């Protein structure tokens, strides 16, 4: 397996700092970073938390950033190459991370590896993503243009989320008559056939 981490100057500095951190604290740090790894935009720690970390780990601001960034980088690389825990441990020892820290990485990685990889795999690139499907079936009894109807009509509500807005979901309403819905369903069946042919 090709090396996922090359020992650059900043890596060396980060490793030195990491090696000074107490093992328990470091393990907790690892889990926390792993939890948020699949989320692109969010910062793992808030400003406040970073300040607390500085004093807890006795690192100045610069070194703390370096440690956090490097740890995240190592984990991202592990995800990218989908490395096995044993291989990860080897590589970490190669960059002179202390054995106990390398073991901590390994254990944390083993615990969450498949989940994180799956979550990252599910991450989608398009600016908008379908999140919610709701519907309503109505029986139209009449309109201003037609009396005495008995027309079943469906309204589909598609909740589409924009990539950058965490909370805003745009609701798209589409109305279908029986005929129109049948046509739509046939098109969905074609898509399904395509998906089936992939496996």
Partner 1 sequence: MSSHAKVAVGASKDSSFLGGRIPSEIEIMAKQLKDLDQEMFRKILKAVVSAIEGKDCREAMKAIAENAALPEERLSYVVAGMYRLLKEALRIPTSSLKQEVFKEDLRELRIPEEFITDFASVVFGNRRTALEAVATQQGPRLPSLKDFRWRVDVAISTSSLARALQPSILMQMKLSDGKAHRFEVPVSKFQELRYNVALILKEMNDLEKRSVLKIQD
Nearer to partner 1, 58 or 162 (CB): 162
Count of residues engaged in binding partner 1, rule: CB under 8 A: 55
Select from 23, 94, 96, 152 the one that contacts partner 1 (CB under 8 A). Answer: 152
Quote the tokens at residue 129: 């993503």
Select from 82, 86, 100, 114 the one that contacts partner 1 (CB under 8 A). Answer: 82
Question: Is residue 191 near partner 1 by the rule CB under 8 A?
Answer: yes
Question: Is residue 168 near partner 1 by the rule CB under 8 A?
Answer: no
Exposed e or buried b for every residue in 100-131, given b needs 16+ CB within 10 A? ebbbbbbebbeebbeebbeebeeeeeeeeeee
Cα distance between residue 28 and residue 52, in whole Å: 14
Instruction: Identify the three-state secondary structure at position 56.
Output: helix
Select from 25, 52, 61, 128 the one that contacts partner 1 (CB under 8 A). Answer: 128
Select from 47, 147, 164, 168 the one that contacts partner 1 (CB under 8 A). Answer: 147
Cα distance between residue 162 and residue 84, in whole Å: 35
Question: Is residue 187 near partner 1 by the rule CB under 8 A?
Answer: yes
For the segment 96-125, give every residue that binds partner 1 (CB under 8 A).
Answer: 117, 120-125
- Give helix 9-20 / helix 61-81 axis angle, nearest 10°: 110
Question: Is residue 176 near partner 1 by the rule CB under 8 A?
Answer: yes
Cα distance between residue 76 and residue 70, in whole Å: 10
Cβ 106 to partner 1, closest distance in Å? 20
Whole-angstrom distance between the N-terminal and C-terminal Cα of the chain?
28
Select from 133, 164, 165, 167 the one that contacts partner 1 (CB under 8 A). Answer: 133
1: closest CA among 67, 80, 60?
80
Residues in Cβ contact with 99 at an 8 Å cutoff, skipping those fewer than 6 apart: 93
Nearer to partner 1, 133 or 168 (CB): 133
User: Which residues make up the interface to partner 1 (CB under 8 A)?
Assistant: 76, 79-82, 117, 120-126, 128-131, 133, 135, 137, 139, 143-150, 152, 154-156, 158, 160, 172-178, 180-182, 184-185, 187-189, 191-192, 194-195, 198
């Amino acid at each position: 397996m090709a090396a996922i981490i090359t020992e650059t100057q900043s890596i060396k500095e980060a490793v030195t700092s990491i090696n000074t951190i107490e093992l328990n604290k470091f393990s907790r740090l690892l889990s926390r970073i792993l939890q948020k790894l699949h989320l692109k935009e969010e910062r793992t720690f808030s400003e406040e938390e970073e300040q607390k970390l500085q004093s807890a780990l006795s690192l100045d601001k610069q070194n703390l950033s370096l440690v956090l960034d490097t740890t995240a980088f190592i984990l991202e690389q592990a995800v990218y190459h989908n490395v096995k825990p044993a291989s990860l441990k080897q590589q970490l020892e190669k960059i002179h991370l202390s054995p106990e820290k390398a073991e901590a990485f390994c254990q944390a990685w083993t615990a969450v590896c498949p989940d994180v990889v799956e979550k990252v795999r599910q991450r989608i690139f398009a600016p908008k993503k379908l999140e919610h499907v709701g519907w309503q079936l109505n029986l139209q009894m009449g309109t201003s243009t037609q009396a005495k109807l008995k027309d079943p009509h469906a309204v589909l509500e598609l909740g589409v989320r924009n990539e950058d807005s965490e909370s805003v979901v745009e609701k798209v309403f589409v109305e279908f008559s029986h005929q129109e819905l049948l046509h739509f369903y046939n098109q969905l069946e074609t898509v399904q056939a395509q998906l089936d042919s992939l496996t």
